[in-house]
A = this chain, B = another copy of it.
Amino acid sequence: MKVSVRVIPPDKELELKAGDNLRSALIEAGIPLDSPCGGQGTCLKCKVQLAGVSRKYTDLEQEKLSREELDGGWHLACQVTVEEPGEVRLPEVEVSRAKASFGLLGEEISLRPNVRRFPFELSQPSIKDQRADWNRLAEYLERSTKRPVSTALSLLRELSFRLREGNFSGQAVVVGNEVVALDPPGSGSDVLGVAIDIGTTTLAAALVDLDTGKVVSLDAELNPQITFGADVVSRIMYAQDGAAKREKLQKELVKGLNQLLLRLCRSARRERERIFEATVVGNTTMLHTLLGLEARYIALAPYVGGLNRPFDLPATELGLQIHPRGKVHIMPSIASFVGADTVAVILATRMHQSRVPMLAIDIGTNGEVMLATRKEVLTASTAAGPAFEGGRIKYGMRAVKGAISSFQATPVMNYSVIGGGAPRGICGSGLIDLAAELYRTGVLDYKGRILRPAEISTRWAEELAPKVRIRKEAREFVIFRDEDREVTLTQQDIRELQLAKGAIRAGVELLMKEAGISADDIQEVLLAGVFGNYINRERAVVLGLIPVFPLEKIHFIGNGAMDGALLALLDMEERSQAEKIVARVHHIELSGRPDFEETFLRCLSFDNK
């Protein structure tokens, strides 16, 4: 059944299918709706105001939306099902200036992109001026750009026609030194770029209007490679079985990126063919799989990959569907397990220019730790594993509908479930909350052991002890149970969490040791990663994921890697900065240190000191 919904702006009557998710339906209908979390209910970007209907709020909406928003009829479109006719008002569509995405810094970003547009008005050929078409255009542009220009054969083949079509006037789109497109004079065509962050789990991209520097749409998508393995090592294992599998990984990834680009362009009503450059960050393995490079040596000691330098190539060589002469700029990496995403985080946070010690942690399947001293930036990569993303956890899941995303043990045990309803599992932030709360309330000891009910001696024993279940040697904490199913946290889950947090914390400790800096010296702590935005700072401290810092020093910066990719798209100077970062970063290979083992073991426990 179709339902008629008026959408404002653009004040348009849309026929939507009853039962569809409102966010998906709007995007499908071409309405620009930022939703970088891909509809998982975590980014809170897809707010819409429903008028003419009153709709019940989901638990997630009640938790995430402010009192004012709730009173004003604002919903998260991803939480709404299309049911009856009505009116949907979108927030003021003031498309965010690119800098708006740089939450941390708030500084003005210079617009000096690699993609530039030059209007031209050439003199007409005559017997007195017989310069060939390309000579005529190139000489004009070289006067404008003060640099030599080149072009591709495919453009030369259409040049004579295009110039005469526009009576020797028009606009040239130049990427680097290469003229890649000619637009008719006075054409209103836009010039777009895209910043891409290839995560092991999530692909994120931001479409940018390079004339204004504004981000016109943002979106995310599951990395389709996930079917070949959840973490980088399993992907490397898959790909090392021959060129065909390597190619398969490459093609699947690009297919996912192309879908993402298509959605970005649809939602912003732009054409993919007007994207002239993509800047790409990601961990080193993801960049290798994007390029189809041999990645096996990343995973074998001494962990040496094929490429860490920045790399520019034509988009067609990857199959990326942007302008046929569009380019891809792969940002530089630091080491096999400290990729371009880390470089991008450092770039976006300006850590490399910090005059005070700063710590940043990018939490993901691999946790990257960055420590800025006054002199340099130290980095380390830690094999956190997939626990924070739900991997190897009995009821683990990503932060989607049904996941327990936060947990309180007192005054009465309570938790919130994404999308409301009965819980189906536990996501990363829920896992941290659970462990931190159970440790605080004495259900876990500092070694991470689930105590027998009789051993629990705190004042919350009466409520919580009954939830501990022991069958043979297996202990678990039962969070939810009805006739159909249950959700529990097992002793093994806690061990996995300890490995993850221990790895990250050991990285933090060892970098501080290397730099001769104590936690007290550190002036600011940044937590990055899409996941980073949703964890509870206090509990991360309780758990010992990070040292004991005053909470006001801890800041979430969201997807800092994406911010770095955007900077590199908008300003060539930022690309030079990225190369300077790589040259100046001091990467510490933790596995090569004699004190790693001992530090790691010490960091497994929950007593944060």
Residues of A within 8 A of B (CB): 125-136, 138, 152-153, 156-157, 159-161, 291-294, 296-297, 301-309, 311, 313, 317-318, 333, 335-336, 587, 589, 591-592
Contact = CB atoms under 8 A, between A and B. Distances in A.
B317 A127 contact: no
A243 to B, nearest CB: 8
A152 B293 CA distance: 12
A471 to B, nearest CB: 44
A268 to B, nearest CB: 29
How many copies altogether? Answer: 2
A307 to B, nearest CB: 5
A238 B297 CA distance: 55
A134 B330 CA distance: 14
A314 to B, nearest CB: 9
Contacts of A160: 293-294, 296-297, 306
20 contacts: A125-B302, A127-B301, A127-B303, A127-B591, A127-B592, A130-B303, A130-B304, A130-B335, A130-B589, A131-B304, A131-B308, A132-B304, A134-B308, A135-B308, A135-B309, A136-B304, A138-B309, A153-B292, A153-B318, A159-B294
Contacts of A317: 153
Given A161-B294, A294-B161, A306 B156 contact: yes
A167 to B, nearest CB: 14
A157 B135 CA distance: 36
Residue picked from A132, A133, A156, A305, most chain B C-beta under 10 Å? A132
Nearest to A328: B153
Contacts of A311: 156
The 3 closest A-B pairs by CB, nearest first: A125-B304, A132-B308, A160-B294
A152 B134 CA distance: 26
Contacts of A303: 127, 130
Contact of A127 (B297, B307, B589): B589
Contact of A130 (B128, B153, B294, B302): B302
Nearest to A243: B157
A306 B336 contact: no
Contacts of A293: 156-157, 159-160
Given A127-B591, A132-B308, 5 more contacts: A125-B302, A132-B307, A132-B333, A156-B307, A159-B294
Nearest to A138: B309
Nearest to A337: B130
A526 B436 CA distance: 93
